[in-house]
Structure 1
Amino acid sequence: MTSEGWGTPPVEPISQHYIVCGGNALAHRLVLELVEHYEVPVVVLVTDRTRDHAPQIEQITGVAAVVEYPNLTEEALRAVSIDTARGLALVEGSDQDNIHAALSAQGHNPDIRIVFRMFNQRLGENIERLLRNGAALSGSATAAPAFAAAALGRPNSVEIDGRYLHIAFDDAISSDRICVVADHIDRQDLSKIRLLPEQEGDSAQFVRLAREFGDDGPVRQGGLRRAPEPEPEAGPDSEGEPERGHEPAVGPEVEPEVEPEVERAVEPDPGAEPEEPPGGIAALQALRMEPREPISWARRLRWRVLDTMRFLTNARLRVVLLIALAAVLMAFAVLWYLNRDFGWTVYISLLDLAGAAQPDQQADIAAGTGTGGLWQRVAQVVITICGITFAPVATAIAVEVLGSGRRGLPRNPSAGTRDHVIVVGLGNVGTRVATQLHEMGVPVVCMERDPQARGISAVRALGIPVVLGDGPFEEQLRRARLKHSRAVIALSGDDATNLEAALEARHGNPDVRVVVRLFDDDFAGHFYRTLDNAASRSVSYLAAPAFAAALMGSEVRGTLSVFRHVLLIAELTVEDGSGLIGLNRHDLEDPGGVRVIAARFARSNQLHWGFADRTRRLAPGDRIVVAATRSGLARLNTVLVEEV
């Protein structure tokens, strides 16, 4: 690897390489993906090799060159040999800068594959149409579902043809699972997890049925062996023939017959405890619709009542209002007693309470045409005076309710906020996560120290309250009503800050679930071993495989997390000249790398789940959906671009 100065192209002429523009965490992970899993030459263009992740990128073995330019200009693109490159990834800078660089790169090299990061996904889709061979991805949009699902304590999902694929663990695994995606799961040592372990072939069930027939034992209806009854314990001096239905006892001199380790088709004992797999397992399952988090009307009403009660928190105010309320009720009772007309009594009481009472004139009283007697006039006076006390409180409540409903205005968490998720940090990822939780119907409160953060206006437009300020986390979390929250997600760009927020949240509420954004894997391992009811995710770790796969021409539909490991759901198209032509399921799959979960054949719109025919060979126009590890998808992408 060589490191070059400003304006200087790589020392060695290079071609057929891939260019990564950026020195952030995503660029770091992306370079690792390309070098370690795709084994392609990579040139990195950074603005400052002493900042951010640029020093770590320089140390990666296999990087062809690191070029430093302060701006992504035409000169900088020529310095990294844009004319002879196969692909360009723009993963840093603003949307505007990336659009300009993408269009400039296409002008230098019309056939280059361009993948660029865009926060505005709608704008990115429009820019894709201007490029001959480009794709716009959002790292925050790719990672946000994993953070939101982790906060709710459920797996995130990836939508494929109307089904929502998700990861289920241990007891949550159902009989209609698609495939096992991980085993040997140990929270104390996450390195033991095996992704996509070897599974028995489709013929294993028929082999198992065949073994149930013959001389090996009795056969029940359907050809399945009856579950053997337990043998009685025999003492050292026991003799004689065993009871019918039991195997003869094996003495020390007799070698017992050892059966192959194959799953038996016996009926389970309904009272028996399920056998725990060693270290736990995870499986891929599908739902017909994505689960939501609906909030019942009763909970909403309770929050509104609690929110209104905050106007009565002052002790003196409570005493005054209670006395006034008691006086109004007594005056109402007097009016009802005098008139014996409940409807008229309510009507005149409300008018008096609002200050709209019509007083009796002295001439009317003398003439005997007044509205009532002395006690009625006293009751009306009492109600009118008490109305002066209630009016300011009612006005304050109305202004608060109407004002907080206006979009874009600052709004603090209300006293009735309950069962909410606190999102710490309103960068790109924090804004995405807060928005997604809000769309799912989950109450959200955001925290941000920088008043100029781009996400503040976006979440306020949705009516999400934001706690602003640079004070200690303890005070900020208290204002965000930590005591009543269900989860805290720390999403700043600094691992130490996120960990501080998580630990402070756990100190203030031992039962709260914490989800932390961490880049460092060792840091995350200590985090899992130290805290329970916690989860850690890495934005770059979740997004980098999708960017790398897109750079190679395949489409990653989503990423699923198995703790700190990532499983990719990708859809591949078999095109003319592709190396996938003629391959069957046996050729495509490999333990620990790739599992084919569905296929859509040419001239057919139906997606076949399972793809049971292992001998059918792929033809141009076919599409396959796979669950793959990073290295497994890299192998498929390498085959995808090969010439026949």
Structure 2
Amino acid sequence: MAVEPAREPPGRSLVSRLRRNADTRPHFVVCGADALVYTVAEELANAGHRIRLTVIVPAELRADVPDLATLRGVRVIRADRLDERTFRSAGLAGAAALALVMPDDVVNLHAALCAQAVEPDLRLVIRMFNTGLGYGVRRLFADCAVLSDAAMAAPAFVAASLGEVAPTHVRLAGRTLYVARRADVRAEHVVCALTAADGAGRVDVLPADPAPETQRPTDLVLAEATGRPAGQTVAAQRLVRARRRRRPLRVMGRALRAALSRKLGIAVLATLVITAVSGAVLVQAEDNVNGFWKSIYVTLLTVVGSSDVELERNGVAQAAQLVLTIAGLALLPLITAAVVEGMVNARLALSSGRAAARHEDHIVVVGLGNVGTRVLRQLVDLGVQVVAIDRKADARGAKAAEQLGVPFIVGDAGREETLRAASIATSKALVVVSTDDVTNLQAALNARAVRPDLRVVLRLFDDDFARRVQTAFNIDISRSVSRLAAPAFAAAMLDRDVLATIPVDRHALLVAGVQVYAGSPLDGATLGQADRPLSVRVIGLSAAGSEWVDWAPDPRRLLAVGDRVMIVARRAGLRALVEQATPPAEPAPPDEAP
């Protein structure tokens, strides 16, 4: 009976192949249909690794995707369907890793299943918009990283909108982390130290937690944003303080004006004035009875249904009573109409965002797609007031805006009146992250026409176009989501689960999750053995089969197979920890004698 050859343990394919095949270049494959496929391929091609790279794209690519032929040493295959036949023709069998960055979750999942049939030990890096689906996909495949380009790009837009230099905000396992000075953060919100200065000009990166007496206020730390002032950056704190200075009576007056229309308000006011004047005349009138007037007086009161006819009064008093009765009849329906219109307008203000026009010192976010929703959540986490705009009432982030209490305007941000409805003239910044470049650029230019000094952060798909627009139109910052996300996808193929990159001084620190595999040096070791000051700092632990992250794990805890260690590390430190979490390579069998 034939014996099936032993497979490598899950998760060790890339490391072990590089060890056993040191004389050959590992093969990487990238599949995509938008700008992200080019930027990921470019990142891999320029990463300094000796690899073979194959890119699979549809026969007809979008116009905003640069020419892949300009990338040196990249093999391009055109295929409209990602199935086993396509993968075999691309040489996927024996490949080290596959990145699926198609803009459709279902297409990526189907392609991953087909790829696994061709190469079972393949390292998979999958682009997923739906985070719930991404969790299930990670459990479906043995060696898989699920990334979201929206999650990777959002911190850069958040930092730019707040006027910060670096994208220092990271959304991780349900909470937002950010880089701050130690003096600006409460001790209980510090996750780990990023830098420590010794006072003599030397700065250590990822130091061991310093003693309180040696801590310096200027040291950088990774902290948790809680939505409260102590969990905010300096820029976010300024926005919150400015918002609190608004006068409450002014806000109430604006809300009343939003609830009542101008015409109805004038009608109600005029009726009230007539009623008051007529009542005063009725009280002060003298007794002067006029026979002809009596008939008119009785007739009109009868027409309006009044039974309070007083013939003994003089004509002036009767006229005042008549006007007062008619005004009273008009006043009741006017009050009813005002109440109904006020309720309707209040509902419209909540659903369409008309009330948002009354905000000040806020940030306007245009486009509640994947990127916009992430930007929205992170800004709210930081305690910043936000107004959202999208042309679709059922946009992906509409429910999130409702849950967070964020005013939501349904309209075209390319139109000036929509921006004015969001009170763009009194806002602090405009973040335009919709998926339409034309709308994004038009919204940015219209906003600048309303307020020339407004900070504008603009999303454009083509990175070169974004740079040129930033220069030509004096836009503060133009960003390409694919350019921001590509390094994380490339790093996931080369260095495993890199969740974000944090620039600190001249260093790039990686936020990553490393899974422990059976037979590895970390299997059965304590968590403290994964922590290496100046190289790797452990910030959390997710137990096997669970998405919940323990942000204060006991360093004496014994690691088990499937545990996922959350770390902040340098690139070399991450590689070393991956080696620790991976079983050692089996020795190659000796060559048989001839």
Map 1:120-519; keep pairs closer than 5 Å: 120-148=130-158, 150-152=160-162, 157-158=169-170, 165-168=177-180, 172=184, 178-180=192-194, 198-199=204-205, 283-287=220-224, 289-291=226-228, 303=251, 305-310=253-258, 320-330=267-277, 359-360=306-307, 379-387=324-332, 389-403=334-348, 405=350, 415-434=357-376, 442-448=385-391, 455=396, 464-468=408-412, 474=416, 477-492=419-434, 498=440, 501-502=443-444, 504-517=446-459
Match of 1:78 in 2: 88
How far apart are the structure 1 equivalents of 2:559 and 2:140?
A: 32
Contiguous gaps of at least 5 residues in structure 1: 1-13, 184-195, 206-223, 225-264, 269-273, 275-280, 339-356
CA drift at 1:74: 3.2
Q: State whether residues 568 and 630 of structure 1, in contact with CA within 8 Å, keep that contact through their aligned partners in structure 2.
A: yes
Asked if the contact 1:307–1:415 (Cα under 8 Å) also holds between the matched residues in 2, the reply is no
Query: Among residues 27, 52, 70, which one is paired with 1:59 in the alignment?
Result: 70
Contact 2:350-2:408 within 8 A present in 1 as well? no
TM-score (norm 2): 0.65
Matched, 1:97 2:107: yes
Tell me if 1:45 matches 2:59: no
Scaled by the length of structure 1, the TM-score of the pair is 0.60
Residue of structure 2 aligned with 1:596, choices 533, 537, 543: 537
Aligned residues of 2:520 and 2:580 also touching (Cα < 8 A): yes
Q: Summarize deviations over 1:200-222 as a string: whole Å, max 9, x none.
A: 977999xxxxxxxxxxxxxxxxx
**Structure 1 position 429, deviation (Å):** 1.8
SS at match of 1:83: coil
Q: Deviations over 1:260-280 (max 9, x none)?
A: xxxxx9x99xxxxx9xxxxxx
Distance 1:563 1:359 in 2: 85
Q: Is the 8 A contact 2:527 2:554 kept in 1?
A: no
Judging by fraction of residues, say which structure has more helix.
2
User: Would you say the 8 A contact 1:310–1:415 is kept in 2?
Assistant: no
1:643 alignment partner, one of 564, 570, 584: 584
**Residues 320/15 of structure 1: CA separation in 2 closer, same or farther (3 Å cut):** same
SS in 1 for 2:511: strand
Give the deviation of 1:465 after TM superposition.
Answer: 1.0
* CA distance in 1: counterparts of 2:409 and 2:226, whole angstroms: 29
In 2: Cα distance, 1:577 partner to 1:332 partner: 95
Counterpart CA distance in 2 for 1:175 and 1:436 is: 21
Question: CA–CA distance in 2 between the matches of 1:389 and 1:564?
Answer: 68
Q: Tell me the equivalent position of 1:278.
A: none
- For structure 2, the residue ranges without an aligned partner over 5 or more in a row are 1-23, 230-235, 286-303, 586-594
Q: Distance in 1 between matches of 2:173 and 2:400?
A: 31
1:497 Cα shift? 7.1
Task: Summarize deviations over 1:531-575 as a string: whole Å, max 9, x none.
Answer: 79x555553344334434544574345444669996432232444
> Match for 1:444: what amino acid?
V
Task: Report SS of the residue matched to 1:477.
Answer: helix
Q: For the structure 1 residues 118 and 544, does the alpha-carbon distance in structure 2 shift closer, same or farther, using more than 3 Å as the test?
A: same
SS of equivalent residue, structure 1 residue 395? helix
- Deviations along 1:392-438, one digit per CA (max 9) or x if unpaired, are 444333322235556xxx66566434444323345432344346657
Mapped partners of 1:334, 1:24: distance in 2: 78
Judge conservation of contact 1:327–1:386 (CA < 8 Å) in 2: no
The CA distance in 1 between the partners of 2:420 and 2:401, in whole Å, is 20
CA RMSD of aligned residues (A): 5.6
**Residues 175 and 486 (structure 1 numbering): CA distance in 2 closer, same or farther, change over 3 Å?**
same
Residue 489 of structure 1 deviates from its aligned partner by 0.5
TM-superposed deviation, 1:45: 0.8
Q: CA deviation at 1:444?
A: 1.6
Distance 2:563 2:374 in 1: 34
Conserved 8 A contact 1:412-1:467: no
C-alpha displacement of 1:91: 0.7
* Residue 238 (structure 1) aligns with: none
Residues 47, 68 of structure 1: 8 Å contact kept: yes
Taking the aligned partners of 1:152 and 1:52, their CA distance within structure 2 comes to 32
- Rounded Cα–Cα distance in structure 2 between residues aligned with 1:86 and 1:135: 14
Q: How does 1:529-568 map to 2 (within 5 A)?
A: 534=476, 537-551=479-493, 554-560=496-502, 567-568=509-510
Aligned residues: 511
Percent of matched pairs sharing the same residue: 31
Task: Classify the secondary structure of the residue corresponding to 1:110.
Answer: coil
Summarize the Cα distance change of 1:103–1:158 in structure 2 as closer, same or farther, 3 Å threshold.
same
Whole-angstrom CA distance in 1 between matches of 2:443 and 2:581: 44
Give the Cα separation in 1 of the matches to 2:500 and 2:395. Answer: 26
- What do the CA deviations read for 1:206-246 (whole angstroms, capped 9, x no partner)? xxxxxxxxxxxxxxxxxx9xxxxxxxxxxxxxxxxxxxxxx
Question: In 2 relative to 1, CA 181–124 (structure 1 residues): closer, same or farther, beyond 3 Å?
Answer: same
Deviation digits for residues 469-528 of structure 1 (CA, Å, limit 9, x no counterpart): 765xx5653454321323201224577975664455344224433223366489659959
Q: Which residue pairs with 1:354 in the alignment? A: none
C-alpha change, 1:367 and 1:336, in structure 2 (3 Å) is closer
Does residue 17 (structure 1) correspond to residue 31 (structure 2)? The answer is no
Cα distance in 2 for partners of 1:204, 1:436 equals: 29
Deviations 1:50-104 (A, max 9, x none): 75576554433454x2212133233222222233223221112312211221222
SS at match of 1:104: helix
Match of 1:242 in 2: none
Structure 1 Cα separation of the partners of residues 480 and 511 of structure 2 = 18
Please tell me whether the aligned partners of residues 193 and 208 of structure 2 are also in contact (alpha carbons under 8 angstroms). Answer: no
SS at match of 1:82: coil
AA matched with 1:643: P
